Amino acid sequence: MAAATLVEAKRIARRDAQRDQVLLHPTDFTLRAGQRVVLTGPSGSGKSVFLRALALLDPLDGGTVHWHGRPVAHGLVPRYRRHIAYVRQRPALIDGTVEDNLRYPYSLAVYRDTAFDAARVRSLLDAAGRGSDFLARATAELSGGEAQIVALVRVLQLDPEALLLDEPTASLDPESANAVETLIAQWFERERATRATVWVSHDPAQAQRVGTRHITMRAGVLDEPASAPVAVGALR
């Protein structure tokens, strides 16, 4: 049985209107359940622009994103972003405790159908090597690595289908980077038939660990080796 197509981008494009510059050339990209994609490429080549466009975080200047075979209509975007979750390099946390941050999503309309699950959160924190005393820590006192763990647990507790990971360990110490990788690997392995990741990484050793499908980005164009099982058109 062919793996389900989670996301299919058709000729999505982004431009900088102010400078009249193309940021992302019309790009086709398909993400199937079970895939672990690694995206590399020089700084400024458009990796973040591409991931943010795929997550429908920034308005597209062309093309469409399909989710389970249907175009994502405007009103569906919040639900889409819940399931196809973008994780930033530098997490944005609210003031307060770790627990305040983990509870925060449930105050939003799009998560009204779910509730904070303390046991679930404890097991995720445990996978990241943090005890339940971590919940009471003030976010202002967290290291960058601890903040990234909070941001990731905040996303994972909501059961996303796919993670779009934008250099999530790039500024972390090795111990925290390891905890982040472990958390993501455990989440993926638990239901690999329905989940997928796209991981931007500059670290070749990490790219080998976290990806099986390797794509390079250059000047706003995706380039995937032709031998790869799924063709990606990076059309100009």
Ligand X SMILES: Nc1ncnc2c1ncn2[C@@H]1O[C@H](COP(=O)(O)OP(=O)(O)O)[C@@H](O)[C@H]1O
By the criterion CB under 6 A, which residues form the site for ligand X?
16, 23, 41, 43-49
Residue with Cβ nearer ligand X (22 or 110): 22
Which of Mg ion, ligand X, none does residue 211 bind (CB under 5 to 8 Å by kind)?
none
Partner from ligand X, Mg ion, none contacting 43, C-beta within 5 to 8 A by type: ligand X
Question: Which of ligand X, Mg ion, none has residue 49 at its interface (CB below 5 to 8 Å by kind)?
Answer: ligand X
Minimum distance of ligand X from residue 46's CB (angstroms): 4
CB atoms within 10 A of CB 95: 9
Token representation of residue 121 = 């959160």
Task: Answer for the pair 155, 55: CB distance below 8 angstroms, yes or no.
Answer: no
Are the C-beta atoms of residues 49 and 220 closer than 8 Å to each other? yes
Query: Which lies closer to ligand X via its Cβ, residue 127 or residue 198?
Result: 198
Q: Nearest to residue 85, comparing CAs of 131, 140, 139, 31?
A: 31
Q: Considering the complex, what minimum distance in angstroms separates the CB of residue 172 from ligand X?
A: 17
Residue 101 binding partner per list ligand X, Mg ion, none, with a CB distance cut-off of 5 to 8 Å that depends on partner kind: none
Helices (H), the chain: 47-54, 77-83, 98-103, 118-127, 144-156, 174-190, 204-210
Quote the least distance from Cβ 166 to ligand X, whole Å. Answer: 7
Residue from 48, 148, 157, 176 in contact with Mg ion (CB under 5 A): 48
Say if residues 23 and 14 touch (Cβ distance below 8 Å): yes
CB of 16 to ligand X, least distance (A): 4
Sheet of strand 196-200, all strands in order from the earlier edge strand to the far edge: 84-87, 162-166, 196-200, 36-40, 213-218, 221-223
Binding partner at 46 among ligand X, Mg ion, none, C-beta below 5 to 8 Å by kind: ligand X
Nearest distance, CB of residue 28 and Mg ion, angstroms:
21
Pairing of strands 84-87, 196-200: unpaired
Nearer to ligand X, 83 or 88 (CB): 88
C-beta of 46 vs 160, nearer to Mg ion: 46
Residue number of the CB closest to Mg ion reads: 48
Q: How far is the CB of 157 from Mg ion (least distance, A)?
A: 25
The three-state DSSP-derived secondary structure of 72-124 is: CCHHHHHHHHHHEEEECCCCCCCCCEHHHHHHHHHHCHHHCCCCCCHHHHHHH
Which CB sits closer to Mg ion, 54 or 128? 54
From the list 40-48, 63-71, 79-87, 102-110, the region that binds Mg ion by CB under 5 A is 40-48
Number of H helices, E strands in the chain: 7, 10
Q: Which residues bind Mg ion (CB under 5 A)?
A: 47-48
